[in-house]
Amino acid sequence: MFEFGRDLRKLFEKARESDDLGWLELIGADLLEAEAKRETTDAGRVSCGRPFEAWMRASLMWREHARRTGAGASLARAAACASDAALHARTADQSVAAGLEAGEIHLARYDLFGGPERLTAALFDVQGQAPERARTRAWVAALGARLAARRADLTDADETRLTALTLLDTARGEHRHLPSTVADELTLDWAGLALRLGVQRRDVVLLDQVGHDLRALVEVATPEYRPVTRARALTLAAVGLKALASLAGDVAAEAQGQALFDAAADQFTPDHSHLDWASVQLAQGPTQTPLLILAQAEAMTREPGLILGAMAHERRLAAEASLAEAMGDLKALKELEVLVHRRLAAPVSRPPIDWVADQIGMAHLMLARGRLTAAEPSAVGMMLAEAAITAREWGAMALAERAERMSRQMARA
């Protein structure tokens, strides 16, 4: 994506040895994978002078590659590198750091594929740690707070979420001891949780603080150095602004929110970060992303069990159902139903998240066919209820809320 001149290339080579790997945002997913392979090979050489640091860098690179592409194999490689780092730890603090990296991998796996047991595994890596360095202590607090935020979303209790928000805020107070990448993740997690709480409670003060902090992050994360972080912050800001615009019926604010989405999508090309690009497209609302873009997002997120991939699949089915209904095309609806039913009935074990997406997708198709034929579709309510329960059990909250919203709309109809 970026072209480096001679002087910039020297800086790039120097950055490879830095503890702060924010420079990884400047390279696309393919080059990131190549860098991770190179670092893994170098760490395994007998001549490697600092094997612990090399294995830790390799683990972080593989973890970031998974975060950009959804590749489960990259998370497995990250876990192997973290394990090798633990074997080469020379101090108690390094042993703690290797454990924390293992916890980060569990957290990344949960964010990508769900499964609350992964949060429990990550919590086990954090609890009882007694780091020596301020940097590692700050990392313990940051990871612990981020885990608390995920667990709070699973409980869906305001009090638990407020506690998690306080933990995130406290951890952010130690940002000077953290790499910029970790500090930025804390800010984004805090802003995401605060945004959900602020909209739900209509807390103007909290929402103002979210806007202020996201604006500050966007200003720091310039497109020349931190395009991925900038896009994530812009996307959150867009979601918040459009939610407020919807509550207030403010057309101008709605347009401003869409402009923020457009700005987020312009930060990089889809191949630079598959998942970030797809996230921007899916965050824009159930009816505001063209079918062609949804199909592209689905094609880029096909890893089995990937939450974002399941969301893209469900949204693409919903868009196809709406298009067929608008055209009065019963044949197209029936053909789509046959394809989805075949996947649902397949004897091969499938990830629960993928099953949820097909359940909701089938509900879209059956409801569309029912509206065209004036026939009441059977068992749709049960399908959506089962999908919502399973999605919540796995931590796929967006899919659960999608199914629950459809159920409420059916009840009102």
Residue-averaged pLDDT of the chain: 90
According to DSSP, residue 40 is labeled: H
Can you give the residue ranges of every domain in the chain? 1-132, 290-413
Q: What is the DSSP letter of 177?
A: G
Per-residue model confidence as pLDDT tens digits over 31-78:
999 999 999 999 999 999 999 999 999 999 999 999 999 999 999 999
In angstroms, rounded to a whole number, what is the distance separating the alpha carbons of residues 210 and 310?
Answer: 29
Distance CA 26, CA 72 (A): 22
Q: Which residues contact 355 (CB under 8 A, 6 or more apart)?
A: 344, 390
Confidence of residue 13 (pLDDT cuts 50, 70, 90): low
3-state secondary structure of 376: coil
Count of residues for the chain? 413
Q: What's the pLDDT at 19?
A: 61
Rounded Cα gap, residues 304 and 345, in angstroms: 17
Asked if residues 201 and 216 have their Cβ atoms less than 8 Å apart, the reply is: no
- Whole-number pLDDT of residue 53: 95
Question: In this predicted structure, what is the pLDDT of residue 17?
Answer: 59
Residue-wise pLDDT tens digits, 211-223: 899 999 999 998 8
